[in-house]
């Protein structure tokens, strides 16, 4: 009898050892499926696509698997559930052998801890660190598993179609402009791109949203020549303004007939000091304020022109636009060696700024961490006039969302400069 008991005990020990080995393998499989799910859901698809273009066959396989993500996810979840259920069942058998009825409770507690630590949290954390490398490493194994589980995947595919018909939803898989801007912010915060690259990408994304009316030089600031202006006066205007091109009008600035280039003027003078500037007037392009600047830049390129006149709804001159104005929307202010650098926004002290009236309203509101309204003017000067509800005067002040605004300089009837005290810890 003692021999029989010893033999039975030995068999239990042998079977228990086998069960433990199987449990370890099953938890390892659970870790594999968990890590695979994390890797394929968080990998950088652009990086994988670039690797595939460079000839990496496994990266190409990963790209193909990612394209049918539903089938991939179904394979991973089916496999993970199979190994987890099987592991729990074997653990229950093992613990019942040693602890009787209490083995079920003990098995549940132990397996929950083991699966959470070694089958879920740890592998997912590790896969998150190098998702592309892990996805590439296991790509062939995933393909084999997909083939083995094809019948089950097919059934789940039918089930998904049924659910899709029962619960119809708008499938908008496109990326919005706001999402793109968020991606750029995340790339900058992650160190993949620097602040200058981030600003350039954001400007390019928002480029098509801008219209000619948003960035034109307003009529009141346009430096233009009357057709009958003398050559001496024209030379003086070129020297004072520093511009290489000046619009030419007949009788009134609402009737701009062309543009004169400084180079053409000096050639005319060199040939014949008594020449008429009508000989060197180049034709000008007329556009509406609503034309997008992305379309306008194509118009300027096709016409080989650097200059456009923006016409208002009455046919008069609303303002002018140059190719440089458009480029500055992408790369920021462009100064040459003859320009006098003017800062639109100057910090006087902590939280107190001096703002020029012609500053773009979006830049000013961004400084105060505010958002512009759909009907807001383009410049700070127009915004101040709108908020005051009257013609601004020197010394006018008002409050906007806790920020204090002071009019400190006027130019004719326009606000030339304001001072703003920004509300701290808003």
292-325 burial, b at 16+ Cβ within 10 Å, e below that, comes to: ebeebbeebeeeebbbbbbbeeeeebbbbbbeeb
Q: Return the CATH number of the domain spanning residue range 217-331.
A: 3.10.580.10
Q: Where is pLDDT greater, at 191 or 286?
A: 286
Residue 180, pLDDT above cutoff 50: yes
Alpha helices in 175-291 (DSSP H): 177-189, 195-206, 212-215, 231-241, 262-271
The reported pLDDT for the residue numbered 13 is 52
Task: Give the mean model confidence (pLDDT) for residues 381-391.
Answer: 88
Per-residue pLDDT tens for 24-81? 899 999 999 999 999 888 888 888 888 888 888 888 888 888 888 888 888 888 889 9
Boundaries of every domain in the chain: 12-166, 180-207, 217-331, 345-422
Under 8 Å between Cβ of 401 and 423: yes
Q: How confident is the model at residue 273 (pLDDT cuts 50, 70, 90)?
A: low
The reported pLDDT for the residue numbered 2 is 53
SS (H, E, C) 52-87: HHCCCHHHHHHHHHHHCHHHHHHHHHHHHHHHHHHH
Task: Give the mean model confidence (pLDDT) for residues 231-243.
Answer: 84
Under 8 Å between Cβ of 368 and 422: yes
Q: Give the C-alpha separation, 119 to 79, whole Å.
A: 13
Task: Give the mean model confidence (pLDDT) for residues 99-124.
Answer: 87
Task: Give the mean model confidence (pLDDT) for residues 391-410.
Answer: 89
Under 8 Å between Cβ of 52 and 46: no
Give the pair of three-digit tokens for residue 148: 């083995």
Across 265-279, 292-306, 358-372, the highest mean pLDDT is recorded for 292-306
The reported pLDDT for the residue numbered 31 is 92
Other beta carbons within 10 Å of 89: 13
Residue 253, pLDDT above cutoff 70: yes
- Coil, strand or helix: which one is 273? coil
Q: What is the DSSP letter of 348?
A: E
Under 8 Å between Cβ of 34 and 123: yes
Q: Where is pLDDT greater, at 273 or 286?
A: 286
- Tell me the HSE value of 147 on the side-chain side, using a 13 A CA sphere: 6
The reported pLDDT for the residue numbered 333 is 67
Q: How confident is the model at residue 5 (pLDDT cuts 50, 70, 90)?
A: very low
How many residues are there in the chain?
426
Q: How confident is the model at residue 195 (pLDDT cuts 50, 70, 90)?
A: confident
Task: Give the mean model confidence (pLDDT) for residues 143-150.
Answer: 88
- Tell me the HSE value of 102 on the side-chain side, using a 13 A CA sphere: 2
Alpha helices in 225-303 (DSSP H): 231-241, 262-271, 293-303
Q: Give the C-alpha separation, 423 to 41, whole Å.
A: 42
Q: Return the CATH number of the domain spanning residue range 345-422.
A: 3.30.465.10
Percent of the chain with pLDDT over 90: 7
Place of tokens 């008429």: 276
Percent of the chain with pLDDT over 70: 90
Task: Give the mean model confidence (pLDDT) for residues 339-362.
Answer: 80
Q: How confident is the model at residue 426 (pLDDT cuts 50, 70, 90)?
A: low
Strands 345-349 vs 352-356: parallel, antiparallel or unpaired:
antiparallel
Q: CB under 8 Å to 207, separation ≥6 — which residues?
A: 293, 294, 329, 330
Task: Give the mean model confidence (pLDDT) for residues 388-416.
Answer: 87
Q: Where is pLDDT greater, at 144 or 3?
A: 144
Under 8 Å between Cβ of 249 and 270: no
Indicate the average pLDDT of the chain.
82
Output the pTM of the full model: 0.55
- Tell me the HSE value of 345 on the side-chain side, using a 13 A CA sphere: 18
Instruction: Output phi, psi for 120, to 5 deg.
Output: -125, -70
Least trusted range by pLDDT, from 9-18, 111-120, 278-287, 415-424: 9-18
Under 8 Å between Cβ of 281 and 257: yes
Q: CA 60 → CA 181, 255, 417, distances in Å?
A: 28, 61, 58
Pairs from 23-28 (Cβ < 8 Å, separation ≥ 24): 23/87, 23/90, 23/91, 23/94, 26/83, 26/84, 26/86, 26/87, 26/90, 27/87, 27/114, 27/115, 27/118, 27/119
């Amino acid at each position: 009898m003692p021999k029989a008991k010893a033999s039975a005990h030995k068999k239990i020990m042998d079977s228990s050892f086998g069960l433990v080995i199987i449990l370890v393998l099953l938890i390892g499989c659970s870790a594999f499926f968990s890590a695979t799910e994390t890797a394929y859901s968080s990998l950088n698809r652009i990086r994988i696509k670039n690797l595939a273009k460079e000839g990496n066959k496994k990266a190409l396989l990963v790209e193909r698997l990612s394209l049918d993500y539903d089938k991939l996810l179904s394979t991973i979840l089916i496999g993970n559930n199979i190994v987890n259920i099987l592991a729990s069942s074997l653990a229950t058998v093992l613990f019942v052998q040693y602890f009787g009825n209490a083995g079920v409770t003990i098995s549940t507690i132990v397996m929950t801890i083991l699966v959470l630590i070694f089958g879920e949290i740890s592998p997912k954390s590790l896969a998150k660190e190098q998702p592309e490398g892990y996805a590439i490493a296991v790509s062939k194994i995933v393909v084999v598993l997909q083939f083995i589980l094809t019948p089950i995947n097919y059934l789940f595919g039918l089930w998904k179609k049924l659910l899709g018909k029962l619960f119809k939803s708008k499938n908008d898989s496109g990326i919005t402009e706001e999402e793109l801007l968020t991606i750029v912010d995340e790339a900058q915060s992650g160190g993949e791109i620097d602040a200058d690259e981030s600003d350039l990408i954001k400007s390019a994304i928002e480029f098509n949203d801008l219209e000619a009316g948003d960035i034109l030089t307003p009529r009141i600031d346009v430096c233009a020549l009357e057709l009958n202006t003398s050559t001496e006066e024209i030379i003086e205007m070129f020297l004072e303004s520093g511009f290489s091109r000046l619009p030419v009008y007949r009788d009134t600035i609402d009737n701009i007939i062309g543009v004169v280039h400084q180079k053409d003027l000096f050639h005319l003078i060199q040939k014949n000091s008594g020449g008429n500037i009508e000989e060197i007037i180049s034709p000008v392009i007329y556009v509406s304020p609503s034309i997008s600047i992305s379309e306008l830049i194509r118009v300027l390129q096709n016409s080989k022109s650097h200059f456009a006149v923006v016409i208002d709804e009455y046919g008069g001159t609303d303002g002018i636009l140059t190719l440089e104005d458009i480029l500055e929307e992408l790369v920021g202010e462009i100064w040459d060696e003859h320009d006098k650098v003017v800062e639109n926004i100057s910090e006087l002290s902590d939280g107190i700024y001096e703002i020029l009236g012609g500053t773009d309203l979006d830049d000013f509101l961004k400084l105060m961490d505010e958002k512009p309204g759909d009907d807001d003017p383009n410049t700070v000067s127009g915004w101040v006039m709108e908020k005051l509800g009257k013609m601004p005067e020197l010394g006018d002040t008002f409050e906007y969302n806790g920020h204090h605004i002071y009019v400190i300089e006027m130019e004719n009837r326009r606000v030339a400069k304001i001072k703003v005290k920004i509300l701290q810890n808003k």
